[in-house]
Amino acid sequence: MDKIVIEGRARLKGRVRIHGAKNAALLVQCAALLTDAPSRLRHVPKLSDIGTMSRLLEYLGCGVEGDRTIAIDPAGVAAGPLEAPYDLVKTMRASVTVMGPLLARYGRCRVSLPGGCAIGARPIDQHLKGLEALGAKITLRHGYVDLKARRLKGGSFVFDTVTVGGTQNVMMAAALARGTSRLENVAREPEVMELATVLVKMGARISGAGTSVIEIEGVDALEGFDHAVVPDRIEAGTMAVAAAITRGDVLLEDAPVDHMHATIAKLEEAGVTCQVERDGMRVIGPDEIKPIDVSTRPYPGFATDMQAQIMVLTLCAQGQSLITETIFENRFMHVPELNRMGGDITVQGNSAVVRGPCKLSGAEVMATDLRASASLVLAGLVAEGKTEIRRVYHLDRGYEAIEKRLRKLGANVRRVRGGKA
Ligand code: EPU
C-alpha cells in the first residue's frame, strides 16, 4: 500500500488550480441514469470514488468512457440488472443515490443497504421515506432494498433531518414523477444546487434549490446533459488551511468563494488573510494564529467535511479552541493520530477542546477516512521532521494527486508506492 511521506516546516507559495468537486460530480454521474440519451461531464477530478461510480454505471449497463471528461451512454440500462450490489455500495456509500433515478426511469431497482462507516451509522431512512411519499413500494430483505413503482406520483415530504444525499435522491426521482412534488427541510448544499442545475439542463422543472423548500413539476422524459463540474469547496478549503498554517502565500485558482463563506469567516477570525481576486482566492498565513470555536452545521454553516482540517489550524493557534461536530456522531477519528504527533486535544462527547499552540513532531500515522487523512497531511506540513501517512487510499478517494500539488507549492512531500520507504 502507498504511503505519503512529508518533511515538515516548508512555507507554501505559488498558485494551485482547484479541481472539480467530487461530491457534485458523483451525483451528476447518477443523474445520467434519468434519460436514455448520452451525457457528458467535464472538469471531473481523477479520484477513486469517481472511478467507483463509473464502475457502478457500467455494471448497470451504461457505456462509460474517459476520466477528466466522462461520456455516459445509458442505452443498455433497461436490459441491465437495475441493481447496486453490496461490493460497490460498501466501497462507496454514494452508490445509494442511483436508487432515485433507476426507480423513476425504470419503475424498479434493488440497492444494497450501506450499513455504518468510519464516521457514523449513516442510515438511509430519509431517502426511503421520501421515495415512499412519491409512491414507491419498498421491501427490505437479505440486506437489500427493493423498490417498485410503475410511475412515481408527485407528493409532499418533509425531511426529519437535513440530508444532502436524501435530498438529491428524492429530487431526481421527483423529476420524472407524474405531477408536482414539494420537498421541505431539504439540504441547501452547493452540491444540491449543482444537481438541480444539471436536471434543469436535462429538461426538469425545479425551483427552490439552494433554499429549504424545493418544488418539482415532474416531466415525462429528460434529455442528456453536457456539464462542467463546479470547483471543489472542500479541496479549496483544505489548501487554504495548508497555506495558513505554513505562513504561506497561495493563490487558489478557481476557488468557489461563494460556497466557502463559513470557511473563510473562520480563517479570517483566526487571523488568516483571504483575498478574493479575479482568478481565485489568495490565502496568506499570519505569523500568529488566533484560537477559534467552530461548530459544524448543514450549509450555509461550517461544513463537516472541513472539520478535521480546521482542527489542524487550531493546533497551531495561540490558545484554546473548541470544535463541535453536529452532523456525524463519530467524526473525531483523526484526534488520536493528531495527538500522537504532539497535539493536545481532548474529546468530550461531540466536542473537542484543542489546546494550542502544539509543537507537532512527525510520526507514523494511519488514515481512517478521507477528511481525517487530509488533516494528517496538514499536520505533517507543520510538524518537525518526518511524517509517514499510511492507508493513503482514503486520501485518493477525494484529493487528486495532493502530493504533487503540495510539492509544486514548495512542500517536501512524496508518495512511496507499495509502502516501501
Ligand atoms: N441521515 C439520516 N438519515 C438519512 C440520511 C442521512 O439520519 O436517510 C443523517 C446522517 O447519518 C448524518 C446526517 O444525516 O448524520 C447528514 O448526512 P447526509 O445525508 O447529509 O450525508 P451524505 O449525503 O451521505 C454527503 C457527502 C459527505 C458529507 C455529507 C454532509 C457526498 C457523496 N457525500 O454525504 O461527504 O460529509 O454530505 O455534508 O456528497 C466527504 O466528502 O468526505 C463526505 C463524507
How far, in Å, from the CA of 10 to the mean position of ligand 1? 35
Alpha-carbon distance values, 362 to 110, 248, 340, 341, 382 (Å): 47, 20, 9, 6, 9
The model carries a pTM of: 0.98
Q: Which DSSP string do the residues of 244-295 spell out, in sequence order? A: HHTT-EEEEET--GGG-HHHHHHHHHTT-EEEEETTEEEEE--SSBPP-EEE
> 155, 129 in Cβ contact below 8 A?
no
Nearest atom (ligand 1) to Cα of 369: 42
CA 66 to chain centre: 21
Q: Give the relative orientation of helices 233-245 and 307-315 as an angle to the nearest 10 degrees.
A: 10
How far, in Å, from the CA of 215 to the mean position of ligand 1? 22
How far, in Å, from the CA of 420 to the mean position of ligand 1? 35
pLDDT of residue 421: 44
How far, in Å, from the CA of 122 to the mean position of ligand 1? 7
> 247, 225 in Cβ contact below 8 A?
no
* Ligand 1: residue whose CA is nearest its atom 33: 23
| Cα 377 to Cα 87: distance, rounded to the nearest angstrom | 29
Cis, bond preceding 291 (omega within 30 deg of 0)? no
Q: Candidates 22, 23, 26: which one to mutate for ligand 1, based on the most atoms within 8 Å of Cβ? A: 23
The sign of the dihedral angle between the CA atoms of 7, 11, 13, 19 is positive
C-alpha cell at 260: 466557502
Query: Given 3-state DSSP classes, what are the helix, strand and coil percentages for the chain, each rounded to the nearest 5?
Result: 35, 30, 35
**Residues lining ligand 1, Cβ inside 6 A:** 23, 26, 93-94, 120-127, 161, 163-166, 187, 191, 304-305, 327-328, 370-371, 398
Tell how strand 273-277 and strand 293-295 pair up. unpaired
What is the DSSP secondary structure assignment for residue 296, as one 8-state letter?
Answer: B
Nearest atom (ligand 1) to Cα of 327: 15
Spatial CA neighbour of 24 closest among 11, 39, 41: 41
Cis, bond preceding 101 (omega within 30 deg of 0)? no
| Cα 203 to Cα 315: distance, rounded to the nearest angstrom | 48
Helix (H, G, I), strand (E, B) or coil at 94: helix
Q: Candidates 52, 117, 122, 183: which one to mutate for ligand 1, based on the most atoms within 8 Å of Cβ? A: 122
C-alpha cell at 229: 463540474
**197-201-206 Cα angle (round to 5):** 55
Residue holding cell 462507496?
92
Spatial CA neighbour of 217 closest among 201, 232, 203: 203
How far, in Å, from the CA of 7 to the mean position of ligand 1? 34
C-alpha cell at 414: 512524496
Per-residue pLDDT of the chain (421 residues; tens, 9 = 90+): 899 999 999 999 999 999 999 999 999 999 999 999 999 999 999 999 999 999 999 999 999 999 999 999 999 999 999 999 999 999 999 999 999 999 999 999 999 999 778 888 889 999 999 999 999 999 999 999 999 999 999 999 999 999 999 999 999 999 999 999 999 999 999 999 999 999 999 999 999 999 999 999 999 999 999 999 999 999 999 999 999 999 999 999 999 999 999 999 999 999 999 999 999 999 999 999 999 999 999 999 999 999 999 999 999 999 999 999 999 999 999 999 999 999 999 999 999 999 999 999 999 999 899 999 999 999 999 999 999 999 999 999 999 999 999 999 999 999 999 854 4
pLDDT of residue 336: 97
> 171, 214 in Cβ contact below 8 A?
yes
> 30, 172 in Cβ contact below 8 A?
yes
> 122, 147 in Cβ contact below 8 A?
no
C-alpha cell at 142: 437479505
Tell how strand 13-17 and strand 249-253 pair up. parallel
pLDDT of residue 115: 77
Helix (H) or strand (E) holding 370: helix 370-382
Is 62 among the residues known to form the active site? no
Spatial CA neighbour of 24 closest among 58, 47, 1: 47
Burial of 287 (0-12, 13-18, 19+ CB in 10 A): exposed
> 218, 176 in Cβ contact below 8 A?
yes
Catalytic residue among 30, 117, 274, 358: 117
